[in-house]
Amino acid sequence: MFIHAGGGIALVKALWLGLCIYYWFFLPSLFLAVKELPQPIKIMYKFLLCWMLFRLVIELYLMYVLKIWHPYMGLTHNAITFIVITTFLYAARSLRLTILYKNMIVTIGMLIPESVFAWYMLTYVRKSDSMIFYVPDTAEHQLIIAITWLVSILVIIWQIYFAKLWIYEKAQSTNV
């Protein structure tokens, strides 16, 4: 368990946060550098990157400068993101067989466990006015920690599968 501003954090929660950074910041940046990306896919990833950068700046400022952040703010942001990206996905459904479309479904799907984790933290960890942002690695939280491990492993497995298919798709498109 790591201890820092915001409270103790279980190792798996640190892993989960790393996966969120990877999916919400690194991958969109990578995909936006691909010239032949279909425009609807590019719009989705551009929105996601910009919206998450906005969230990053605002949440860090509210958490560590003003010290007024509340989990409901994160839950609200998750809900807005889910609705907007789901709308984009519906509008671009003709591209649903592409690997980048499928990856966006996984990326946006990560908001569901992220929201469950926030709800759990709000319900079972955070005290009324405390500035606790994470679930600690203690016996009382073992179920949510186990669920976090499972979800993290599934997301990593998807990423390995996705990378293999995307590289294959890219190789096939250059060989045509």
Scanning the chain, the segments in alpha helix (DSSP H) are 11-21, 27-32, 39-60, 71-91, 99-109, 111-120, 142-175
The pLDDT, as a whole number, for residue 15 is 94
Q: Is residue 6 part of a domain?
A: no
The pLDDT, as a whole number, for residue 68 is 86
**Structural domain of 107:** 11-175
The pLDDT, as a whole number, for residue 16 is 94
Cα–Cα dist 38/12, whole Å: 35
Q: Is residue 2 part of a domain?
A: no
Burial class (CB in 10 A: 0-12, 13-18, 19+), 12: buried
Q: Is residue 4 part of a domain?
A: no
The pLDDT, as a whole number, for residue 119 is 87
Cα–Cα dist 53/63, whole Å: 15
The pLDDT, as a whole number, for residue 2 is 40
Q: Which residues of the chain have pLDDT under 50?
A: 1-3, 176
Q: Is residue 93 part of a domain?
A: yes
The pLDDT, as a whole number, for residue 3 is 44
The pLDDT, as a whole number, for residue 13 is 87
Q: Is residue 73 part of a domain?
A: yes
The pLDDT, as a whole number, for residue 70 is 83
- Please compute, for residue 78, the number of CA atoms within 13 A of its CA located in the half-sphere on the CB side: 18
Q: Is residue 128 part of a domain?
A: yes
Q: How many domains does the chain have?
A: 1
| pTM over 0.95, yes/no | no
The pLDDT, as a whole number, for residue 161 is 96
- Give the rounded percent of residues in the chain with a pLDDT score beyond 90: 58
